[in-house]
């Protein structure tokens, strides 16, 4: 099997005439997708892109954007996707850091891109049909001799979402992505009978690698939705067998009266990840649909690390067991393993773990240790059966009066209070305690701060209970459903200190 992620999967597709992508009225075969990727690869090469060069891409979600990803893999170039929401200022930093050989952007952003980037720029329209990438590639050869890549040669650089400081480029190799896709394909029993409902963005590890690489590895078809849209989802669900989503997506579907046993009749699996899945959502999904959500845990730097089993107990509030081939150790601040059941830093090692941060050797050394273990920055614990629970990001830990409070535990208790529909717990500077546990809460039924605090009394020790409950209309989340706690911390930073 070739070391090239693309060719090793593409060469195993039994029938290239079969449908790969269903996008609106378009039915795109594997053969067509691969030919389109070959044409793009020729075009990139003719514009000077060589193996190991970066291709920066800021486009909307379209089938052609996927083929552009394949084109980079075929050529041995490094695919560097950016969130389309990034502004010109953010792009200036990202382009100066990635130093791409070529940029692909939407036609609307071409002028801005040319003003900050002196190299070749191609365009791809939101519908995947317009733009110079399409025009200039259309008459090029539909076959391409794929580069033979080594395990550690880079396939992509994904910039971390970076809620604090500049985002870093995580270098992912062909071997990292291939090994993870093969493990997930086996574990989740993907086959060419599967039809994956694709509703996620494709600039992030979940929608790009977990969804597309796994489907390709299994020769599965993909219903490719341009974005999360409940109407489209309910229209397409009957044709699908698998869906991957982030927790907020499942929450939104639960609020839709169309969700029920009939709507999910053809499904075999719903996967959740990228952010913690509240136990209430896990339970409600089971009640409404009869399906048990399968929660998994991963990150940009490591691909997927753990998963609840496909066959066997899926435990709510846990992210399951380490994936085959991935070692997971929970350690204290000295790097020593903590006893089972105790909270520590999650570290992982395996073929899934990235090659380091792009041009940041110091950050790489600090987080990716010489023994191969990567310090994820997540805090977690292991139960007696080996299932992992995540209690929060290390930097979100609240230390109040010298005691550790894990936001996830408080959020779970808050979400279980009738009348609380969503919550986020974070620390704010506090004159006596160092940090004060604070909760932002979305509430219904007119429940009051005192009412919520009273409801928490039974289950949570005094020091864990929020000092203040702040009512908000919505908890701020990014495109992947991750709570943007720094925004809340900034907004309310003087809550305990002002006037003191």
Using CB under 6 A, list all residues that contact ligand AMP. 160-161, 205, 273-276, 295, 297-300, 319, 376, 378, 390, 393, 480
C-beta closer to ligand AMP: residue 36 or 57: 57
In angstroms, the CA 77 to CA 68 distance is 11
Q: How far is the CB of 376 from ligand AMP (least distance, A)?
A: 5
- Residue number, 245 or 273, with CB nearest to ligand AMP: 273
Closest distance to ligand AMP from the beta carbon of 478 (Å) = 8
Cite the DSSP H helix spans in 300-429: 361-367, 407-415
Q: Quick one: tokens of 412?
A: 């779970």
In the bound state with ligand AMP, the residue whose beta carbon lies nearer, of 195 and 391, is: 391
Three-state DSSP class for residue 182: helix
CB of 297 to ligand AMP, least distance (A): 4
For residue 249, what are its two tokens? 């997506």
Q: Which residues contact 108 (CB under 8 A, 6 or more apart)?
A: none
Closest contact distance (angstroms) between CB of 275 and ligand AMP is 5
Please say whether the dihedral angle defined by the alpha carbons of residues 220, 226, 227 and 231, taken in this order, is positive or negative.
Answer: negative
H or E segment and range at residue 7: helix 5-10
Question: How far, in Å, CA of 285 to CA of 266, rounded?
Answer: 16
- Structure tokens that stand for 2 in this block: 């070739």
CB of 173 to ligand AMP, least distance (A): 17
User: Alpha-carbon distance 278 to 318, whole Å?
Assistant: 10
Kindly tell me which of 367 and 378 has the beta carbon lying closer to ligand AMP.
378
* Least distance (Å) between residue 351 CB and ligand AMP: 18
> Is the CB of residue 200 less than 8 Å from the CB of residue 244?
yes
User: Min. distance of Cβ 250 from ligand AMP in angstroms?
Assistant: 12
How many angstroms separate the Cα of 25 from the Cα of each of 17, 28, 225?
17, 10, 11
Q: How far is the CB of 219 from ligand AMP (least distance, A)?
A: 26
**Least CB distance from residue 324 to ligand AMP, whole Å?**
18
The nearest distance, CB 89 to ligand AMP, in angstroms, is: 21
**Residue (of 159, 178, 154) closest to 76 by Cα position:** 154
**Spatial distance between the Cα atoms of 8 and 178, rounded to a whole number of angstroms:** 8
Contact 216, 37 (CB under 8 A): no
In the complex, the smallest distance separating the C-beta of residue 160 from ligand AMP, rounded to whole angstroms, is 6
For strands 388-393 and 374-382, give the pairing: antiparallel
Task: Provide the β-strand partners of residue 398.
Answer: 405
- Shortest distance in whole angstroms from residue 172 CB to ligand AMP: 11
Q: Pick between residue 147 and residue 158 the one whose CB is nearest to ligand AMP.
A: 158
Instruction: Judge whether 344 and 332 are in contact, CB under 8 Å.
Output: yes
Please identify, using beta-carbon distances, which residue of 276 and 351 lies nearer to ligand AMP: 276
For residues 179 and 205, which CB has a smaller minimum distance to ligand AMP in the complex? 205
Residues 6+ apart with CB under 8 A from 442: 420, 421, 422, 423, 471, 472, 473, 474, 475
Task: Rank residues 104 and 208 by Cβ distance to ligand AMP and give the closer one.
Answer: 208
Please, which residue, 123 or 274, has the CB nearer to ligand AMP? 274
181, 206 contact by CB (below 8 A): no
In terms of CB distance, is 149 or 348 closer to ligand AMP? Answer: 348
Instruction: Provide the minimum distance between the beta carbon of 312 and ligand AMP in the complex, in angstroms, as a whole number.
Output: 17
The helix-helix angle for 279-289 and 407-415 (nearest 10°) equals 40
Nearer to ligand AMP, 275 or 472 (CB): 275
C-alpha distances in angstroms, 174 versus 154, 157, 359?
6, 11, 19
In the numeric block, the tokens 């600090």 are attached to: 366
Choose between 38 and 346: whose C-beta lies nearer to ligand AMP: 346
Closer to ligand AMP at the Cβ: 242 or 299? 299
Cβ within 8 Å of residue 156, ≥6 positions away:
69, 72, 78, 79, 80, 81, 172, 177, 208, 209
Beta partners for residue 430, in sequence order = 434
């Amino acid at each position: 099997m070739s070391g090239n992620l693309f060719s090793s999967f593409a060469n195993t597709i039994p029938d290239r005439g079969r449908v790969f992508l269903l996008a609106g009225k378009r039915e795109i075969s594997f053969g067509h997708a691969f030919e389109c990727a070959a044409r793009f690869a020729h075009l990139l090469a003719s514009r000077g892109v060589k193996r190991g060069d970066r291709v920066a891409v800021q486009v909307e979600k379209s089938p052609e954007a996927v083929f552009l990803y394949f084109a980079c893999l075929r050529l041995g170039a490094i695919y560097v996707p950016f969130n389309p929401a990034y502004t010109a200022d953010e792009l200036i930093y990202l382009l100066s850091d990635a130093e791409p050989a070529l940029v692909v952007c939407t036609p609307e952003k071409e002028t801005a891109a040319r003003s900050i980037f002196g190299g070749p720029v191609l365009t791809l329209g939101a519908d995947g049909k317009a733009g110079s990438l399409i025009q200039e590639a259309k008459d090029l050869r539909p076959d391409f001799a794929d580069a033979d890549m080594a395990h550690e040669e880079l396939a992509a650089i994904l910039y971390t979402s970076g809620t604090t400081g500049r985002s870093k480029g995580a270098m992912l190799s062909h071997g990292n992505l291939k090994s993870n896709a093969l493990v997930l394909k086996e574990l989740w029993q993907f086959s060419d009978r599967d039809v994956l409902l694709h509703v996620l963005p494709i600039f992030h590890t979940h929608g790009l690698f977990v969804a597309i690489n796994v489907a390709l590895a299994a020769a599965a078809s993909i219903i490719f939705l341009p974005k999360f849209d409940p109407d489209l989802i309910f229209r397409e669900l009957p044709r699908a067998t698998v869906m991957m989503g982030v927790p907020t997506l499942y929450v939104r579907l639960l609020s839709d009266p169309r969700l029920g046993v009939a709507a999910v009749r053809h499904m075999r699996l719903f996967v959740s990840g990228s952010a913690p899945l509240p136990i209430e959502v896990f339970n409600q999904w089971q009640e409404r649909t009869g399906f048990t959500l399968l929660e998994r845990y991963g990150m940009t730097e490591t691909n997927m690390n753990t998963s609840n089993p496909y066959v066997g107990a899926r435990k709510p509030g846990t992210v399951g067991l380490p994936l085959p081939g991935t070692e997971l150790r929970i350690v204290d601040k000295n790097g020593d393993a903590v006893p089972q059941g105790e909270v520590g830093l999650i570290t992982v090692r395996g073929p899934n773990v990235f090659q380091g941060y792009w041009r940041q050797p110091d950050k790489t050394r600090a987080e990716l240790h010489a023994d191969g273990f990567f310090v994820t920055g997540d805090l977690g614990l292991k139960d007696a059966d080996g299932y992992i629970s995540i209690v929060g990001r290390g930097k979100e830990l609240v230390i109040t009066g010298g005691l550790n409070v894990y936001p996830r535990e408080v959020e779970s208790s808050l979400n279980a209070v009738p009348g609380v529909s969503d919550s986020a717990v974070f620390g704010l500077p506090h004159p006596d305690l160092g940090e004060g546990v604070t909760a932002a809460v979305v509430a219904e039924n007119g429940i009051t701060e005192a009412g919520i605090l009273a409801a928490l009394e039974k289950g949570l020790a005094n020091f864990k209970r929020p000092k203040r409950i702040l009512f908000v209309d919505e908890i701020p989340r990014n495109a992947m459903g991750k709570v943007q706690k720094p925004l809340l911390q900034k907004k309310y930073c003087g809550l305990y200190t002002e006037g003191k």
